[in-house]
Structure 1
Amino acid sequence: FNLLAHPEVIVERGTDKYAAKAMVVTGGERDRVFARQVALRPQFGEYQQKTRRTIPVVELKRIG
Structure 2
Amino acid sequence: MEDGSRVYFCFPSHPFGSMVEYSVVNKEACIPLPDDLDDVVAASIANAAMSSWGHWCIVLT
TM-score range, shorter chain: under 0.3
The two structures have a TM-score, normalised by structure 2, of 0.27
The two structures have a TM-score, normalised by structure 1, of 0.26
Structure with the bigger RCO (C-alpha within 8 Å, sep 6+) is 1
